[in-house]
Amino acid sequence: MTTTVFEVEKVNSLKPLEGKVAIVTGASRGIGAEIAKVLARNGATVIGTYNNSPKQIEDVAKVIEEEGGKFHALQADVSVFDDTEKLATEVKEKFGKIDILINNAGITKDRTFKNMSKEDWDTVINVNLNGVFNATKSVIQHMLEQNDGRIVTISSIVGQAGAFGQTNYSATKAGILGFTKSLALETASKGITVNAVCPGYIGTEMVAAMPEKVLNNIVEKVPMKRLGLPSEVAQAVLYLVQADYVTGQAIAVNGGLYM
Ligand code: NAP
């Protein structure tokens, strides 16, 4: 049966998130913390994960709770499949379901390829790409059974354009784009959307770790002449979890930067 345009128009395509249960990986700071806040402000119950920063996630929890939002912190290393399996089981047991997964956790280990060790390569692949497999694999069956789900993964402009000294990171962020498009095709008829966001250079600890000269050169190339804010990335994520007819897409949030 096909749905007519008239029927689609009757459905409010932008849903508030009340009653929705969302997992945000790497919510202890930076972009993940802002995603957690914006989802909670819009009514979702947010389970924010951390790996090594229990103190930082407490600060995020405090802000959200002060705003009247619902937030719960859980520890999980996304590079360990057992951890994401435990996370999904615990969320289903405590909150009854999982509606939204935001794959945000990520790391860098920048070196020119000549100087990159096997360990530098494997560590970044294990967190940024295997971590996306692990967390998504741990929730997908549940989303298929409930015929509803939203998966958003944080890629990067570096996955689209490449970057000097980031072959490992760039490979993971480009891999996420292929993963997103393929999984979107497999789940489009099952009520699940799968999308990515490609931030440009955003003012977080990850970017603060870059040499100042390199960062200044990058900002000079950004048409808006500034770094992005984590909250500006979170706005794009909010749109994607509310939209019904958008899947397999990558939204750039980069101040107009095309390298
Ligand atoms: P960040 O400030 O360094 O925060 C990274 C987050 O990931 C932290 O919450 C950290 O938690 C978590 N994390 C790291 N390893 C983990 C693991 N093995 N398991 C679970 N969580 C782990 O980074 P950010 O700048 O906010 O970046 C967030 C995402 O956006 C990343 O995927 C990054 O690649 C992407 N991105 C960032 C930029 C940018 O300019 N900042 C641009 C494009 C894309 P713990 O500290 O608790 O371990």
Q: What residues does each domain of the chain span? A: 16-201+230-252
Whether residue 130 has its Cβ less than 6 Å from ligand 1: no
> Among this protein's residues, is 245 annotated catalytic?
no
pLDDT score at 225: 97
Q: How far apart are CA 49 and CA 62, in angstroms?
A: 15
Q: Which residues on neighbouring strands pair with residue 73, listed in sequence order?
A: 48
Q: Dihedral sign, CA of 18, 35, 69, 71?
A: positive
pLDDT score at 26: 98
Q: What class, spelled out in words, does domain 16-201+230-252 have in CATH? A: alpha beta
Angle at 238 between CA 232 and CA 239, to 5 degrees: 100
Q: How far apart are CA 121 and CA 109, in angstroms?
A: 8
Number of the ligand 1 atom closest to the C-alpha atom of 105:
7
pLDDT score at 15: 44
Q: How far apart are CA 50 and CA 123, in angstroms?
A: 17
Whether residue 172 has its Cβ less than 6 Å from ligand 1: no
Pocket mutation for ligand 1, best pick of 37, 75, 107 (most atoms within 8 Å of C-beta): 107
pLDDT score at 7: 57
Number of the ligand 1 atom closest to the C-alpha atom of 233:
30
Within 8 A by CB and 6+ apart from 141, the residues are none
CB 13 within 8 A of CB 245: yes
The single residue of 169, 201, 239, 258 carrying the catalytic annotation is 169
The amino acid at 241: V
pLDDT score at 38: 97
Q: How far apart are CA 37 and CA 69, in angstroms?
A: 8
Q: How many Cβ atoms from other residues are within 10 Å of residue 246's Cβ?
A: 14
Identify the residue whose C-alpha is closest to ligand 1 atom 18.
Answer: 77
pLDDT score at 8: 53
Which segments in the chain show pLDDT lower than 50? 13-15
Q: Which 3 state secondary structure label does DSSP give 142?
A: helix
Q: How far is the CA of 189 from the centre of ligand 1 (A)?
A: 31
pLDDT score at 210: 86
